[in-house]
A and B are shown apart, each in its own frame.
Chain A
């Protein structure tokens, strides 16, 4: 059981480029969550997805950010036209049933230069 796999581990983008972060949930998990962590801060919820559906995107910025979890393949968090303020660690988590807690990936550290 490989756990939650996120890639890349580190991503550097220039201002205005697109960032694409990938997350493969644990085998058998159908719930996927994305969180953002700024330096010295806790994790902030962004979006909750199940296969082909966005369940809760209340933490997602209204512009430039989007997420998907297709029927086949990993979940993708996409940030268009990145700005320096997007620099953060982005964590993906998955769960079989949310109330048992989430299993987190190792995160993607995005740096915008």
Chain B
């Protein structure tokens, strides 16, 4: 079974600063995928970034980037130049071809003006 652990229930960051959200996972699959989703107060789940486990290069998407450490089973999300609109719950998730998306419990991020 796949599991995802997010050890930071809440975090805050000043506007324009950088923040890193932690995520560790466990899987017995050799081929899997990792994701970060954002859930603002509207409740909509929005895909932020995706990483293929067989790729060593860290994924980036504008101000969002990941630090993927496969041996340590770590997949952290870095948000640069934080904006007020980044305030949301952030969920780390993983899936493989055989299992559907499994989520962590989330980190509540507050961006402070």
In contact, B33 and A45 (Cβ under 8 angstroms): no
Chain A proximity of B24: nearest CB distance (Å) = 14
Indicate if A65 sits at the interface (CB-CB under 8 A): no
Q: Kindly state the separation between the CA atoms of A16 and B18 in the bound complex, as whole angstroms.
A: 49
Question: What number of B residues sit within 8 Å (CB to CB) of A?
Answer: 22
Chain B proximity of A43: nearest CB distance (Å) = 5
Contact among A41, A101, A102 with B105 in the assembled complex (CB-CB below 8 Å): A41
Indicate if A48 sits at the interface (CB-CB under 8 A): yes
Chain B proximity of A7: nearest CB distance (Å) = 14
B35: A residues at CB distance < 8 A: 101
The total of interchain contacts (Cβ-Cβ below 8 angstroms) comes to 53
- How many residues of A sit at the interface, in one of the four size bands? 20 to 34
In contact, B45 and A91 (Cβ under 8 angstroms): yes
Contact among B4, B33, B43, B97 with A101 in the assembled complex (CB-CB below 8 Å): B33
Within 8 A of B (CB), among A46-80: 48, 56
Chain A proximity of B103: nearest CB distance (Å) = 4
Chain A proximity of B6: nearest CB distance (Å) = 8
A44: B residues at CB distance < 8 A: 103
Given contacts A43-B91, A48-B100, A106-B42, contact A101 B47 (CB under 8 A): yes
Within 8 A of B (CB), among A23-42: 33, 35, 41-42
Indicate if B102 sits at the interface (CB-CB under 8 A): yes
Indicate if B78 sits at the interface (CB-CB under 8 A): no
Indicate if B62 sits at the interface (CB-CB under 8 A): no
In contact, B47 and A42 (Cβ under 8 angstroms): no
Knowing that A42-B106, A99-B33 touch, tell me 4 more A-B residue pairs with CB under 8 angstroms: A56-B99, A93-B45, A98-B95, A107-B43
Interface string of B69-113 (1 = CB under 8 A from A): 000000000000000000000010001010111111110000000
Indicate if B44 sits at the interface (CB-CB under 8 A): yes
